[in-house]
Amino acid sequence: MSNRAAYVTDLRTLQAECTANFVRLDRLLGDTVAGERVELPLASHTTRFGTLHLEVVERAPYTTVVRVFQSGVLDDMIDAPRMVVHLYHDVQMAEVTDFQRKRHFEGRYRYPNAHMHQPDEKLQLNRFLGEWLEHGLAHGHDTRIFETP
């Protein structure tokens, strides 16, 4: 038997991360409407990292659904991260609802488990989104909006 205590979901931290992600996405998306995409070429002074894509799938009065992905130099070697994020306007929070085509993440998982989710998988995914968006805000250049085909 293990003396380890079971993981307890840290709702305060999860809510703070989702609120910060709402602010980041709101700043990056602006008035983008459904069917449009914001493309942020990511680069330092000497190196191009690829392009961060934010595609607005759906806009409604209380929610916006955004597909987030990156394309770039490693496209032929790795499966780039892909997310679907729901923005909830009434509570000003953004939540990852789909990652790499997997949906419905629990607030906590027993570990180990069949899918090898971390106990705090949901928090980690939303934290990853926050770091990704911060990277886009820090290194993104020439934001452009296109209609998706």
79 pLDDT above the threshold of 80? no
pLDDT surpassing 70 at residue 124: yes
Domain count, the chain: 1
pLDDT for 67 equals 96
SS3 120: coil
Contact 83, 77 (CB under 8 A): no
Q: Residue 75: pLDDT band by 50, 70, 90 thresholds?
A: low
Domain for residue 111, yes or no?
yes
Whether 54 is covered by a domain: the verdict is yes
Question: For residue 20, is it within any domain?
Answer: no
Look up residue 22 and give its two tokens.
């709402």
22 part of a folded domain:
no
DSSP state, residue 125: H
Report which residue type is found at 73.
V
- Tell whether 104 is covered by a domain: yes
pLDDT at 19: 98
Residue 120: inside a domain: yes
Q: What is the pLDDT of residue 25?
A: 97
HSE, CB side, 13 Å, CA atoms: give it for residue 43. 10
Domain residues for the domain of 51 are 29-139
Read off the pLDDT of residues 20-35 as tens digits, 9 standing for 90 and up. 999 999 999 999 999 9
Structural domain includes residue 128: yes
CA distance 128 to 30: 21
pLDDT averaged over the chain? Answer: 82
SS3 category, 118: coil
Tens of pLDDT along 98-123?
A: 886 566 665 555 666 565 556 567 88
Residue 86 lies in a domain: yes
pLDDT at position 91 over 90: yes
